[in-house]
Structure 1
């Protein structure tokens, strides 16, 4: 059984803390975000929670399902021992999805119709894999995209796995008053960030803020369990893509809940270090350092986001541009601090402004001017 995700909570205070509310206006804005309850179901204990005091002030122990996975190669039919919430796909030879397809098999053995793979989304555009909602299927069959080589797939169950007990701070976490779900509060398994030898797969690196890029995840709209979707994206990015973490700095579901993305340590606000520099994510290949990525859950090629998600995005972007002192309606020259590559973009851009992709969807892309105006005017 799945219940909604836990309320957002704070982490330990520091020079720039995750729990500090800077300014009364931000605190008022936070009230518009729905406070979720915990998403739990499942008997392994998270190492971060082991040996800690359950009665420690400011924390609570929540239970989340450990993500289970089964991998396969090629196009042969796949049957799994787990109910499949999502199928992750990755291939070489092309970054196109044309000609590719999937059909799902229900638990009763009935076979679904072939469905195209869609536009591929952010991850494929950045050289990673594709995530497809599978609605608790028992198996699937694939057609590789035209020109694809080395097709690999992974079946993911993010809702029915064994219990993981996680320490979650009991007070709301906020970015200048805008409430969000911390990584712990949406059930991020921090072990996924590490290699078998214990080293961090993608150690954090921080650079001064330059721009914000808006994405859509190109997944199913009206997802019944958005926190499970975030955990699936995390697994795809961290393990299947071998990026070591989720690629975005923040994600927003259709109910307006904001999720902390890329790990940035314990000393600053989410996505930042204590000095206000931005942790490098994995959302725009070649232009990631200093570029803060926000992804809306869903596909917005033919429809726009729901009003709750739109409002949450506006509030979040507004506090970020104020934090960094930039003009949300400006054109800027982004300069990659690692290799000097430059790109002229809007201060608030869409993924397609950086590279060839449909992201963040045609309808959402057309809304970016409206977003810039709303952020600038406070309306």
Structure 2
């Protein structure tokens, strides 16, 4: 007979509603943070111990809602190894006592100075949890974080393919995909310039029989426990995989970077922390999960130039040991713990063989910033780029992108957002993004025909400071945008004001090289643009696109106007090739790229802000594949991660990984 919780999840999937929270007595309810319930209960000494050693213990009991996803852990001061264990009540009887992992250090760098916590244990379908510690521990509390499974969680999991060998790319869910409306702390360990040495495999000591829809809520609860209870500022692992074969981004800072994690004492700067969502001390490892571990590990090792069959002599200065470690190893190899569980650990030979086979394929990872329409996509791109918020947002018309071409380089100089609006009113996703980003000033781009005065009035009534940047036409608007910043790169990008496709990759290149983008008539250099070029006196002018976009007469006029400057055309036989050539000209190397559809230019314009933030090029692809020129750009620049800008209607998951 299916459990009450699974029946509720089935109803949730069908009706797309949030699981209702019924009345339930709880031991304590300290606070609610971003929709998650946090309880902290002090452990009390008990005279008659239940421990096998018959020693006095500290014990605490907390009531849980069996319909929701909870993480349970302990925090205390004193000895790290305090014999922590727990048992669950399923509504009828108590289960067996289960040991919790040895204490891990608390604090931002796992430097708790005598403050310890257990690893997070995810609990499902239990109405109470009871924990014990040895009485030598002081200031001991049981900590629980409980999250609801939402309709958005159901939709997210259904829309995200598994990461298995049949996919061209290594699909990894973003932090925003599991966080939902939760406000993540926008900080983690530093991003280091040196590569990772290898991968440390963990498990989360989680019930192995969770539903796919549970996973985002599980990750939110683990995040809260790591970031807030253990004071790690973020989730500790760099990435996680679930039993259904999906991979998920963990710690912030970019999967493609060496982000210092918080997953293994004394190892966090040099080793990629990858965790399985499961308790593999007692539960077998599903093939889908093992496959996801292999694919994700292979991709991570490829990014850092490590071979799964290699070894590294490593010194752990905090634990005072030097060992010869396999590039892929378990947490138990470097710390006194059973993690990642013996059932997973005994499969490491198989796992290494699978990783080695995957490394031969050199696959790209793929993430998606999508939405129901162009306005939602732009809002998602803005929030992905501006994790610390954006005081200023540039607002441009979503139906006609000519005015928006020059916005990306301007906005990137000050970390401003780029959002889209309708002519007569601001769409809901844009308004939500303005609020979420903490925006104070909105800069409307374009004339009143493009964005009506009513939009300005509405935004002012909502408390925003509003101003407009506009010219007599699109060419003049581009000039006025260029006056928003002081440019020091010595380069100007020049694009057609009517044939816009070849210009789409230029915004990210201009942002990277600290250059503005100006527009010209295809057949002649417009007067207002020529005047601005003469005023700026650039050392280099990059003309975007072939002669079908910008004729040779424009190049000659620019050369006559600026005889000291290098006037160069970068263009290919089509928009895809042009975007690849522009990227290779502006970027000596890049670990990631923002990918937009060559047939959805508005997503490319909005994607410039994310590309600028990640110091990445913006490349155009077909709906389901990368052209040979774009594929060559991936190879020459060393791109390993594609961030798709747009929904599945314009870009398939393979667009960032498969060659046409």
Normalising by structure 2, we get a TM-score of: 0.40
Match of 1:376, SS state, is helix
Query: Highest relative contact order (Cα 8 Å, sep 6+), 1 or 2?
Result: 1
1:41 matches 2:18? yes
In 1, Cα distance between the equivalents of 2:219 and 2:104? 14
Which of 163, 170, 181 aligns to 2:173? It is 181
1:289 matches 2:269? yes
CA contact (8 A) 2:61 2:128 kept: yes
> Could you tell me which residue of structure 1 aligns to residue 440 of structure 2?
none
> Could you tell me which residue of structure 1 aligns to residue 477 of structure 2?
none
Q: Structure 1 residues 211, 335: closer, same or farther in 2, change over 3 A?
A: farther
Which of 294, 303, 306 aligns to 1:314? It is 294
1:96 matches 2:81? yes
> Could you tell me which residue of structure 2 aligns to residue 205 of structure 1?
191
1:326 matches 2:306? yes
Residue 258 of structure 1: how far off its partner (Å): 0.4
Q: Point out the structure with max Rg over C-alpha.
A: 2
In 2, Cα distance between the equivalents of 1:347 and 1:179? 23
CA contact (8 A) 2:84 2:99 kept: no
Q: Cα deviation per residue 1:213-244 (whole Å; 9 max; x = unaligned)?
A: 11111121112312222211111111110101
CA contact (8 A) 1:129 1:240 kept: no
Q: Structure 1 residues 82, 231: closer, same or farther in 2, change over 3 A?
A: same
**Aligned residue pairs: how many?**
305
Q: CA RMSD in A?
A: 4.1
> Could you tell me which residue of structure 2 aligns to residue 218 of structure 1?
205
CA contact (8 A) 1:68 1:157 kept: yes
Q: Structure 1 residues 134, 375: closer, same or farther in 2, change over 3 A?
A: closer
In 1, Cα distance between the equivalents of 2:345 and 2:151? 40
1:118 matches 2:99? yes
> Could you tell me which residue of structure 2 aligns to residue 71 of structure 1?
40
Following superposition of structure 1 onto structure 2, how do residues 347-362 of structure 1 map, counting pairs within 5 Å? 347-362=327-342
> Could you tell me which residue of structure 2 aligns to residue 301 of structure 1?
281
Residue 255 of structure 1: how far off its partner (Å): 0.2
Q: Cα deviation per residue 1:33-80 (whole Å; 9 max; x = unaligned)?
A: xxxx9x9838xxxxxxxxxxxxxxxxxxxxxx8222222211354457
Residue 133 of structure 1: how far off its partner (Å): 3.9
Q: Structure 1 residues 152, 105: closer, same or farther in 2, change over 3 A?
A: farther
In 1, Cα distance between the equivalents of 2:317 and 2:139? 34
In 2, Cα distance between the equivalents of 1:118 and 1:222? 19
Q: Cα deviation per residue 1:133-158 (whole Å; 9 max; x = unaligned)?
A: 44354544433246333221223221
Residue 331 of structure 1: how far off its partner (Å): 1.0
List alignment gaps of at least 5 residues for structure 2.
1-7, 20-33, 44-58, 111-115, 361-660
In 2, Cα distance between the equivalents of 1:139 and 1:361? 25
Residue 289 of structure 1: how far off its partner (Å): 0.2
Judge which range, 299-308 or 289-298, deviates more. 299-308
> Could you tell me which residue of structure 2 aligns to residue 193 of structure 1?
185
In 2, Cα distance between the equivalents of 1:329 and 1:4? 47
In 1, Cα distance between the equivalents of 2:244 and 2:12? 12
In 1, Cα distance between the equivalents of 2:287 and 2:313? 31
1:345 matches 2:332? no
Q: Cα deviation per residue 1:306-337 (whole Å; 9 max; x = unaligned)?
A: 00011111111222222322221011123679
Following superposition of structure 1 onto structure 2, how do residues 27-176 of structure 1 map, counting pairs within 5 Å? 41=18, 66-74=35-43, 75-79=59-63, 85-86=69-70, 87-96=72-81, 98=83, 100-104=85-89, 106=91, 112-113=93-94, 115-120=96-101, 127-135=116-124, 137-145=126-134, 147-159=136-148
Residue 89 of structure 1: how far off its partner (Å): 2.1
List alignment gaps of at least 5 residues for structure 1.
7-36, 43-64, 195-199, 265-269
Residue 119 of structure 1: how far off its partner (Å): 3.9
Judge which range, 299-308 or 338-347, deviates more. 338-347
Residue 299 of structure 1: how far off its partner (Å): 1.2
Q: Cα deviation per residue 1:171-216 (whole Å; 9 max; x = unaligned)?
A: 989998200111111126663526xxxxx5x453324221111111
In 1, Cα distance between the equivalents of 2:132 and 2:244? 34
Match of 1:322, SS state, is helix
Q: Cα deviation per residue 1:17-48 (whole Å; 9 max; x = unaligned)?
A: xxxxxxxxxxxxxxxxxxxx9x9838xxxxxx
In 2, Cα distance between the equivalents of 1:252 and 1:163? 19
In 1, Cα distance between the equivalents of 2:245 and 2:160? 19
> Could you tell me which residue of structure 1 aligns to residue 245 of structure 2?
256
Normalising by structure 1, we get a TM-score of: 0.67
Residue 365 of structure 1: how far off its partner (Å): 1.3
Residue 130 of structure 1: how far off its partner (Å): 3.8
Match of 2:240, SS state, is strand
In 1, Cα distance between the equivalents of 2:168 and 2:196? 17
CA contact (8 A) 1:2 1:159 kept: no
Match of 2:124, SS state, is strand
CA contact (8 A) 1:91 1:129 kept: no
Match of 2:290, SS state, is helix
Judge which range, 329-338 or 356-365, deviates more. 329-338
In 2, Cα distance between the equivalents of 1:186 and 1:354? 30
